[in-house]
Structure 1
Amino acid sequence: MKLATWNVNSLKVRLPQVLEWLSIAEPDFVGLQELKLDQDKFPLDAIQAAGYQAVWLGQKTYNGVAILSKIPAQDVVLNIPGDDDPQKRLIAATFDTPLGPFRFVNVYCPNGQSLDSEKYPYKLAWFDRLTKWLSDELKTYSNLAIVGDYNIAPADEDVHDPKRWKDQVLVSEPEREAFRRLLGLGLTDSFRQFDQPEKSFSWWDYRLNAYKRNAGLRIDHVLLSKPLADRCHGCVVDRAPRENEQPSDHAPVVATITV
């Protein structure tokens, strides 16, 4: 069972690349972020023609999340329950799998912009609400994965130049502590379950030839509850789509679970 996350940075622009990648990678469940399109503009026909079903939460110009799956979704949740935040950042669904009920949560976490921006405390507060909600979800679903663009590089090994990035947004200690609190719920960063090449990243700025220089950050993650982590036998960054013409600035991350 292959679980994937990919910030596509506009599904309208990147749809042909997404369809091509689905045909090659054949993931079972995919979380897409930054759809950047209205709810009624989602390309459902094209996704279904590729062999996938979809649930989504759209928002014009910004944000937006979707779950693509080969089997029907149930118990869909849009945004953190009880949260009146107008930004469309979370979608969750349950699936019947050979492992039993499987809860798949897809998030596009706030960026924060800078440590002196009003968007930074918003980001930390959003993570607090996410952590509280996930704590309850984990009591209901033993098989839970939360994937997405977290906009946090958890450790210096996830940063191409830690000295340059020190005390900046995406790597600040309060953000990393928020990520650790998620792990403290009993979740595992599936990528770090395995030996990985040094300088493994999932995002590279479009500017300054960052991708060619491999000047990136690892900010896209697949976190797994213990039963899934125990069955996980691999997690990789698929850099091939980042080498397309007009690519997203993110690459997909794919974890494989034994069923």
Structure 2
Amino acid sequence: MKIATFNINNINKRLANLLAWLRSAKPDVVALQELKAADAEFPKAALEKAGYGAVWCGQKSRNGVAILARGCEPILTRTHLPGGGTDAQSRYIEAAVRGVLITSLYAPNGNPQPGPKFGEKLAWMRHLTAHAEDLYKAGIPVVLAGDYNVVPTDRDIYPTKSYAKDALLQPESRALFQRILDQGWVDAIRALHPDAPMYTFWDYMRNRWARDAGLRIDHLLLSAQAAERLIDAGVDRDVRARDGASDHAPAWVELRDAAKARRTSRDSTRKTAPAPVGRKAPVPAGRPLLVIDGDSFAHRAYHALPKTILRRGGRPAGAILGFANMLLKFYRTEQPRAVLVGWDTLDAPTYRHQKFPAYQSGREFDKALLEQLDALPQFVAACGFANAKAAGYEADDFLAAAAVGEERRGGTVLVASGDRDTFQLASASTTILFPVRAGEVARIGPAEVRARYGVDPDQVADFIALRGDPSDKLPGVAGLGAAGAAQVLRTYGTLENALKAGRFAAHAERLQLFRSIAKMDRKARLPRLADQTPTWAKAAALAREWELNQLASRLEELAVAAERAGGAR
């Protein structure tokens, strides 16, 4: 997968040059900057004819960014940096293409400095740094591509004193760029070409192209999951030499296909990208709090396992056994400091049912499943873990309250649930463990939420209200759909803003109701969640009592191993 970044410096003026380069270089994805064209002026038809789908944020006469994808349409996930308003200058866009999240960013130049423009540049870079941290923590392949308007080191500029006071070289600009690298991002060009100049920009003035008086200001920074797939990187200098060329040349990386990507072992002879100079080793994080939607996984286990699995007295046990296996696997792989399992209240209506009687109507559960749902909290407690269940609340509410509380304490959270409503909890500190197939989970962070739905986590409840949720019997806005709901939120930011602007006036009251139903209650009361020591022996005794002997044997082995290690009872 070849991904390029190219400051085109007026897309319509240089469209012929762009199309010629696309034909010869055949990049799979291109991040473009300085379109200098309003949205309506973007040459969509010409690019489609060349085989590229596109998303863009235009601006007449200046700025403007776009992402092109060969043979497909990029999935737009963001059109401005979070925390920086709506970015009226059209400097940032983000989209998912074939499993990789890609940005096109155009940082402010910042000149003259000192002065207000330099302050604006630094403020914008700080917003980028914060967002980059969220993206990196998402644990997915991300390429931060664009014109950063930063010369990272003196190696990245021709020998000169003429730029000494330029905003692109100031210590503050370089420090913010380095802060992004310190998060773990790999500067792809420098990783594979540590000593070569690799310039990407040559000013039109003073014959700088002919003198090769260049700067490296266009960068492709890779998350760990993208960096492990890095094959090659370079700059197409010849593009700068063409008639009517931009003052920039395309920089690019090539990544292995996801199916072929493998972490290189220490003794491998394969040539790989070295770690960038000055990159800090990641600081080990504290053990996370693991919160689990008990009903979600019990339901999955009940329907996945044979109904012939029985416990003492011939009573059903498939959901118990499947849930127990899941719980042990999560504990083994995640090593949480504590575990909380939240449960729905099935024998009393919640406040959601009281607000909207049709909520979750028509759901019926087998008696065999209900019996096991009643027994499972006993097993959780026997393991030494905490349960949360109370009249009027759903499991989601306890998960939300636990996540918020742990984040306030500076901790990290893993939320295990098959309910997409939990995507509203995703943050830099909270990751959703979402089951995708037997025994496998996807890790969902803010970037994954955007890649899937085109909205931020804090917009998920608004998104559900607009789109609807058939499983919960929330109708949403007829005919709007997921894409329409995401577009509304990209335009207005929130459902409330859309309603204030006069959208969906006939449905305003119901949409506000649906949002309140979709929003998790972060104030649900919780048990104390101090660090826990598993009581595997007690859980084994309960499993023996239930005559689930294979499960009991596994738990007894865990108890013996933990006792030897001095870590459990």
For residues 138 and 48 of structure 1, do their structure 2 counterparts lie closer, same or farther at Cα, with a shift above 3 Å needed?
same
For residues 247 and 197 of structure 1, do their structure 2 counterparts lie closer, same or farther at Cα, with a shift above 3 Å needed?
farther
Residue 16 of structure 2 corresponds to 16
1:147-198 Cα deviation digits (max 9, x unpaired):
0010001010001025443343211111100100111222110001113663
Q: Hey, what's the Cα distance between the residues in 1 that align with 2:17 and 2:77?
A: 26
Residue 90 of structure 2 corresponds to 88
Query: Quick check: 1:205–1:216 contact (8 Å CA) kept in 2?
Result: yes
Residue 235 of structure 2 corresponds to 237
Q: Hey, what's the Cα distance between the residues in 2 that align with 1:182 and 1:164?
A: 27
With 221-230 and 136-145 compared, the bigger mean Cα shift is at 136-145
Report the 3-state secondary structure (helix = DSSP H, G, I; strand = E; otherwise coil) of the residue aligned with 1:40.
helix
For residues 197 and 155 of structure 1, do their structure 2 counterparts lie closer, same or farther at Cα, with a shift above 3 Å needed?
closer
Query: Quick check: 2:139–2:225 contact (8 Å CA) kept in 1?
Result: no
- Map of 1:102-113 to 2, 5 A cutoff? 102-113=100-111
Residue 254 of structure 2 corresponds to 256
Residue 114 of structure 1 corresponds to 112
Residue 59 of structure 2 corresponds to 59
Q: Hey, what's the Cα distance between the residues in 2 that align with 1:147 and 1:242?
A: 19
With 190-199 and 144-153 compared, the bigger mean Cα shift is at 190-199
Residue 3 of structure 1 corresponds to 3
Query: Quick check: 1:156–1:162 contact (8 Å CA) kept in 2?
Result: no
Q: 2:74 aligned with 1:43, yes or no?
A: no
- Structure 2: runs of 5 or more not aligned: 258-569
Q: Hey, what's the Cα distance between the residues in 1 that align with 2:112 and 2:159?
A: 18
Query: Quick check: 1:89–1:108 contact (8 Å CA) kept in 2?
Result: yes
Higher relative contact order (CA 8 A, sep 6+): 1
Q: For 1:228, which of 226, 229, 232 is the aligned residue?
A: 226
Report the 3-state secondary structure (helix = DSSP H, G, I; strand = E; otherwise coil) of the residue aligned with 1:200.
coil
Q: Hey, what's the Cα distance between the residues in 1 that align with 2:160 and 2:133?
A: 31
Report the 3-state secondary structure (helix = DSSP H, G, I; strand = E; otherwise coil) of the residue aligned with 2:93.
strand
Query: Quick check: 2:55–2:76 contact (8 Å CA) kept in 1?
Result: no
Q: 2:73 aligned with 1:72, yes or no?
A: yes
With 71-80 and 244-253 compared, the bigger mean Cα shift is at 71-80
Report the 3-state secondary structure (helix = DSSP H, G, I; strand = E; otherwise coil) of the residue aligned with 1:176.
helix
Report the 3-state secondary structure (helix = DSSP H, G, I; strand = E; otherwise coil) of the residue aligned with 2:243.
coil
For residues 35 and 184 of structure 1, do their structure 2 counterparts lie closer, same or farther at Cα, with a shift above 3 Å needed?
same
Structure 2 letter corresponding to 1:26: K
Q: Hey, what's the Cα distance between the residues in 2 that align with 1:172 and 1:93?
A: 31
Report the 3-state secondary structure (helix = DSSP H, G, I; strand = E; otherwise coil) of the residue aligned with 1:249.
coil
Query: Quick check: 1:103–1:141 contact (8 Å CA) kept in 2?
Result: no
Query: Quick check: 1:35–1:62 contact (8 Å CA) kept in 2?
Result: yes
- The runs of at least 4 consecutive aligned structure 1 residues that moved more than 6 Å come to none
Q: Hey, what's the Cα distance between the residues in 1 that align with 2:32 and 2:224?
A: 23
Cα drift, residue 134 of structure 1: 2.0
Query: Quick check: 2:143–2:221 contact (8 Å CA) kept in 1?
Result: yes
- Map of 1:152-171 to 2, 5 A cutoff? 152-171=150-169
Q: Hey, what's the Cα distance between the residues in 1 that align with 2:198 and 2:47?
A: 30
Q: Hey, what's the Cα distance between the residues in 1 that align with 2:137 and 2:195?
A: 35
Structure 2 letter corresponding to 1:102: V
Cα drift, residue 63 of structure 1: 0.2
1:60-101 Cα deviation digits (max 9, x unpaired):
011000000022222421111343232110000112x3xxx3
For residues 125 and 197 of structure 1, do their structure 2 counterparts lie closer, same or farther at Cα, with a shift above 3 Å needed?
same
Identical residues among aligned pairs (%): 39
Cα drift, residue 10 of structure 1: 0.2
1:11-70 Cα deviation digits (max 9, x unpaired):
010101100100000001100000000011110000000000000000001100000002
- Structure 1: runs of 5 or more not aligned: none
Structure 2 letter corresponding to 1:147: A
Structure with the higher strand share, 1 or 2: 1
With 152-161 and 109-118 compared, the bigger mean Cα shift is at 109-118
Structure 2 letter corresponding to 1:174: E
Q: Hey, what's the Cα distance between the residues in 2 that align with 1:229 and 1:177?
A: 22
Q: Hey, what's the Cα distance between the residues in 2 that align with 1:202 and 1:250?
A: 5
Cα drift, residue 139 of structure 1: 2.9
Residue 131 of structure 1 corresponds to 129
Residue 312 of structure 2 corresponds to none
Structure 1 letter corresponding to 2:64: G
Report the 3-state secondary structure (helix = DSSP H, G, I; strand = E; otherwise coil) of the residue aligned with 2:207.
coil
Q: Hey, what's the Cα distance between the residues in 1 that align with 2:23 and 2:139?
A: 30
With 165-174 and 45-54 compared, the bigger mean Cα shift is at 165-174
Report the RMSD for the aligned CA atoms in angstroms.
Answer: 1.4
Q: 2:3 aligned with 1:32, yes or no?
A: no
Q: Hey, what's the Cα distance between the residues in 2 that align with 1:88 and 1:252?
A: 20
Q: Hey, what's the Cα distance between the residues in 1 that align with 2:193 and 2:4?
A: 19
Report the 3-state secondary structure (helix = DSSP H, G, I; strand = E; otherwise coil) of the residue aligned with 1:136.
helix
Q: Hey, what's the Cα distance between the residues in 2 that align with 1:14 and 1:204?
A: 16
Residue 216 of structure 1 corresponds to 214
Residue 182 of structure 2 corresponds to 184
For residues 128 and 243 of structure 1, do their structure 2 counterparts lie closer, same or farther at Cα, with a shift above 3 Å needed?
same
